[in-house]
Structure 1
Amino acid sequence: MNNGLDDVVATETVMSDVDGLAGRLTIRGHSLDDLAASSRYEDLVGLLLDGFVAGLAQSEELAADLGEARTRVFEQLVPACAGLGPLSVTEALRAALAQLADGEDAATALRLVAAPAVLVPAIVRLRRGQAPIAPDAGAGHAADMLRMLRGADARPAEAAALDIYLVTVSDHGLNASTFAARVVASTHAGLTSSVLAALSALKGPLHGGAPGPVLDMLDAIAATGDAEAWLEAALDRGERLMGFGHRVYRVRDPRAEALKRSVQRLFASGGEGTGRLALAEGVEAAATRILARRKPDRPLQINVEFYTALLLEALGFPRESFTGVFAAGRVAGWIGHAREQALYGRLIRPQSRYVGPLPDRAA
């Protein structure tokens, strides 16, 4: 029995490979570095779903179809979001997504890809007392998401930074949310059910909820002015340093490096946020030194969440929406895995070992 299923191979996949020892991420035959440097999110959607979704267009036609899907999602799902005010952003996103019918076709897949990009800005605006903004079907996916959030066009550098983020988090092996999607897909329940299961898994703080607390940590350190003293005290209290360490990577998370470069370019292009970036880089350096000294047997470097927090904050997303923005990137990976499981896999049905009391037996 392997508690947590560490090192258990549950499936074969063409989706992605996470090499934790070398610090490499391969997505459908391409390195993360190459994809982050050259791909729009629309291109990643086509790559991830290629061969899995019948009738899916490619290239600019796919971008146009995705723009149309954003429009249809806005018309169908956003009106009901006004009644979801008491829920968190992630819970409201899940409730709104549940209105989509299950299916396996290209229209269903693209609406599911479009939905978080449309719904997260709409939910955020409603929570601020603002009216949701309809999509621009002709805009790029990342640029349109920012326009729907702010009510104004994003600078090209900002749209490019969000594109890099969505690409970077689009798929990452058999993580908890992706495994949940594949379990549901193995029953042939449909894509919407699979995505809802994945989103519910992502909601848990051990999987998708850490970028916000990274900012809480940076705020607390900024207030004291002494990063090393704050970090040492936090470790003395037995607290985890947010944005450090990963279940798989034994070296630096390659996604963290891609996002750090993106943040640096974003701040350089706009001339703002340099103090926040300098603080984060100082905290990263101090924490890396302290963790290496105090936990020499555990490789604890920054993970994808550390610079995600700075990037999404700089783009104007509130902290409570970060999990939803993550879902906007990861949803295409969930769909690809779900279709791969439904097409080529079996019903996922592992065994358990009973360790409870046995019934009394007559002598």
Structure 2
Amino acid sequence: MSTNNGFTPGLEGVVAAETELSHVDGLKGELIIAGFPLARLAANATFEETTYLLWHGRLPTQAELDAFKQELAALRPLPPATLNLLHEAAKANTAPMDALRMASATLDLGSSAADHQTTAKTVVARVATIVASYHRLRQGQDPVTPDPNLGHAANYLYMLTGEIPSEARVRGLETYLNTVIDHGLNASTFAARVIVATQSDLVSAIAGAIGALKGPLHGGAPGPALDTVFEIGRADRAEAVLQAKLDAGERLMGFGHRVYKVRDPRAEVLGAAAEKMFRADGDMALYELAKSVEETAVRLLARHKPGRNLQTNVEFYTALLLHGLGLETDIFTPTFAVGRTAGWLAHCFEQIQYGRLIRPQSRYTGIMDRAWVPLAER
């Protein structure tokens, strides 16, 4: 939306960067990650493969993948100062995203990294450890030592629970992390690019991105979408409960998206991943209930708000999948950050190569030519 004088609120529609990382087409419901349609990549790649792809522009060979996984695994342990900070945050019952924001500034502590790649690997490895360790501390439990023999997704689940996860659960989380790893020039990604464009460091850029993600207008709230499913409880109650919400002017959480005018492609991928995971190692009754709620909600929204085409968004199946993995609602957004951190860093690499400060203009709308009034006369 551009005004007559050229001002575009929120920079909506303004192209501020060129990228080879992801392409979002809201009208077609299309998300391309480094040349791969989302469904083709997310359901097949490991998180390490997708990260390598974004950072290097190609998929790794077996030898490259093995080395990359080993490097990430070796960097997972947190410095004592970071663990002390998390202990203090837990004592104060700090919200998980606030704790992640605080700890993110220490991500390179104890690292002698002199190059961007090593710093980036350290950041990706330690963000997952921070989220998992803090979750356990808030539960009154000791953090679990990372297992270097597990991949990134499997180790994250292991650090959360202390138990080796099933292959079905690991595949479910791999698919989720791949699905959310990048999504165009969103608020947190833009924040990271703005910071690194000043020739600041990668850790500062990630800390800024986490700060942007913490805001509810960007990070969203996947939890409420699942709350509605639990509130409904039985498929035969879906229409009555959802219709009552619409009649009361409430928004149906998990439906509609600012960018996508058709079904969110991430919902498509995560819905399929959730069905596969629940069928192999989960509560299929919950999946079937969620599917019924989704179908009813889409039908009622089409009747209640004709022409709006309010379809399922990423939050709906994010909530179902992460709940199925045993995650608490308050670490849904931090888990999103575990995946998105790799995408933020890929954008930082692009911006560093571009080598240009991001410096938009502003237009002054205040009073001009004020007369100075001495303090005694005011």
Q: TM exceeds 0.5? A: yes
Residues in 2 aligned to 1:239 and 1:355: alpha-carbon distance in whole angstroms? 36
**1:39-71 CA-partner distances (Å, limit 9, x unpaired):** 00000111111169xxxx931100111111113
| Equivalent residue for 1:20, pick from 22, 26, 46 | 26
Query: Matches of 1:355 and 1:294 in 2, distance apart?
Result: 40
Distance, in Å, in 2 between the alignment partners of 1:144 and 1:75 is 20
Give 1:76 shift. 6.0
Contact 1:63 1:140 in 2 (8 A): yes
1:15 is displaced (CA, Å) by: 1.0
In structure 1, how many angstroms separate the alpha carbons of the residues matched to 2:303 and 2:355? 45
CA distance in 1, matches of 2:264, 2:79: 35
Query: For residues 154-169 of structure 1, what are the structure 2 equivalents within 5 Å?
Result: 154-169=165-180
Q: Deviations over 1:1-20 (max 9, x none)?
A: 22122211111111111011
Equivalent residue, structure 2, for 1:297: 307
Q: Shift of residue 224 of structure 1?
A: 10
How do 1:173-212 residues align onto structure 2 when only pairs under 5 Å count?
173-212=184-223
Distance in 1 separating the partners of 2:360 and 2:14: 11
Post-superposition offset of 1:200: 1.0
Residue 333 (structure 2) aligns with: 323
Conserved in 2, the CA contact under 8 Å of 1:69 and 1:111? Answer: yes
Alignment partner, residue 350 of structure 2? 340
In the alignment, which residue of structure 1 is the partner of 2:106?
99
Amino acid of the residue matched to residue 103 of structure 2?
Answer: A
Equivalent position amino acid for 1:276 in 2:
L
Residue aligned with 1:201, SS: helix
Match of 2:51 among 45, 54, 63: 45
Match 1:230 to one of 233, 236, 241: 241
Contact preservation (8 Å) 1:228, 1:286: yes
Are 1:74 and 1:119, in contact at CA under 8 Å, matched by a contact in 2? no
Deviates more, 1:247-256 or 1:227-236: 227-236
- What is the Cα deviation at residue 210 of structure 1? 1.6
1:345 and 1:234 map into 2 onto residues whose CA distance is 50
Mapped to 1, the partners of 2:161 and 2:64 lie a distance apart of 29
Cα deviation, 1:144-202, whole Å, max 9, x if unaligned, reads 11111111100011011100100110001011111111111111111111111111111
Tell whether the 8 Å contact from 1:67 to 1:141 is kept in structure 2 after alignment: yes
What's the offset of the Cα at 1:359?
Answer: 4.1
Distance 1:345 1:296 in 2: 46
Pick closer, same or farther for the CA change 1:228–1:347 going to 2, 3 Å.
same
Which amino acid counterpart does residue 319 of structure 2 have in structure 1? A
Contact 1:116 1:325 (8 Å CA) reproduced: no
Q: How does 1:84-95 map to 2 (within 5 A)?
A: 84-85=89-90, 86-95=93-102
TM-score, normalised with respect to structure 2: 0.89
Matched, 1:256 2:262: no
Distance 2:245 2:234 in 1: 15
Q: 1:238 to 1:357 in 2, by over 3 A?
A: farther
**Ranges in structure 2 where 5+ consecutive residues have no aligned partner:** 1-6, 373-378
Label 1:230 to 1:345 Cα distance change in 2 as closer, same or farther (>3 A).
farther
Q: How far, CA to CA, are the matches of 1:358 and 1:237 in structure 2?
A: 47
User: Offset at 1:225?
Assistant: 5.9
Describe the shift of the 1:357–1:230 C-alpha distance in structure 2 as closer, same or farther (beyond 3 A): farther
Partners of 2:305 and 2:365 in 1: CA distance: 34
TM-score normalised per structure 1: 0.93
1:89 Cα shift?
0.7
SS in 2 for 1:26: strand
| Aligned AA (1:87) | T
Q: Aligned partners of 1:188, 1:230: CA distance in 2, in Å?
A: 52
SS in structure 2 at match of 1:131: coil
Q: Distance in 1 between matches of 2:242 and 2:83?
A: 42
Aligned-residue offset at 1:209: 2.9
Larger radius of gyration: 2
Contact 2:197 2:356 in 1 (8 A): yes
> Match for 2:347: what amino acid?
H
Given that 1:46 and 1:58 are in contact with CA atoms closer than 8 Å, whether structure 2 keeps it comes out as: no
Q: Deviations over 1:309-346 (max 9, x none)?
A: 01111111100000100000000000010121122142
Whether the 8 Å contact between 1:74 and 1:135 is mirrored in structure 2 is no
Q: Distance in 2 between matches of 1:39 and 1:348?
A: 33
Rounded to whole Å, the distance in 1 between the matches of 2:50 and 2:79 is 22
Structure 1 alignment gaps of length 5 or more = none
Give the conservation status (yes or no) of the 8 Å contact 1:89–1:123: yes
Q: Quick one: distance in 2 between partners of 1:339 and 1:37? A: 26
Q: Is the 8 A contact 1:104 1:190 kept in 2?
A: no
Contact residue 184 and residue 194 of structure 1 kept, 8 A: yes
- CA-to-aligned-CA distance 1:91-121 (integer Å, 9 cap, x gap): 1111111113497522210111112211111
**Counterpart residue type for residue 262 of structure 1:** A
Q: Secondary structure at the match of 1:163?
A: helix
How far, CA to CA, are the matches of 2:250 and 2:10 in structure 1? 22
Give the Cα–Cα distance (whole angstroms) in 1 for the partners of residues 242 and 115 of structure 2: 48
Task: Name the structure 2 match of 1:65.
Answer: 71
